[in-house]
Amino acid sequence: MTDLHGAIMVPITVGFLAGLAGLFVALGSADGDRRLVLAGYRPLEVLAARLGVIVFAALLTTGVALAVTGASFTPQSWLTFATANILTAVTYGMIGVLAGPRLGLLGGLYVMLALPFIDIGIAQNAMFDAAPPSWAAFMPGHGAIRVMLDGAFTPSLDEYGALALALAWLAAVTALAAAQFHRFAAPKAG
């Protein structure tokens, strides 16, 4: 159980922190983004800069979490383990981007505090049950956590379907975040 706990704490941490980064970047830059678009920058350029900040924050938090975890836990495949945690972090970063403008600061904070813990800490946590509950398959972290557990305890990647699911979640929330960004970054009439 000690190894399992060491493995599962990384995605909980990176999901939470990257989600907060996405939330604060989305909320803190909305007015500036509109001004940049008015000044002549293309929305795609501004979007790329904002998403770059979120990806950087996700990579930074993942790197620190992996370094801290590496002191007491060694996964069987560092590459698979790290990749799964990066997928988790960036996915939750994009969820933070979606939550911020829709729910505001306080509502977004509550969602970004609760969602990674419900998803990863309860639904996907193999310490509670070897097989997650049926509803856990619909959570954003399901695929990435299966890949992460595969990398933590087996030397080769066996969870290709879970990897595809994790990539699909990432693509979907990134597309939604980009669409929302275009809507909110557009100059206000009047």
**CA dist., res. 52 & res. 25, Å (int):** 11
- The answer on pLDDT for 189 being more than 70 is no
Domain residue limits, the chain: 2-185
| pTM of the entire predicted model | 0.92
Identify the CA nearest to 123 among candidates 99, 107, 108, 145: 145
Within a 13 Å sphere around the CA of 14, how many CA atoms are in the beta-carbon half? 35
- What are 48-98's pLDDT values in tens digits? 999 999 999 999 999 999 999 999 899 999 999 999 999 999 999 999 999
Helices 78-116 and 160-185, axial angle in degrees (round to 10): 50
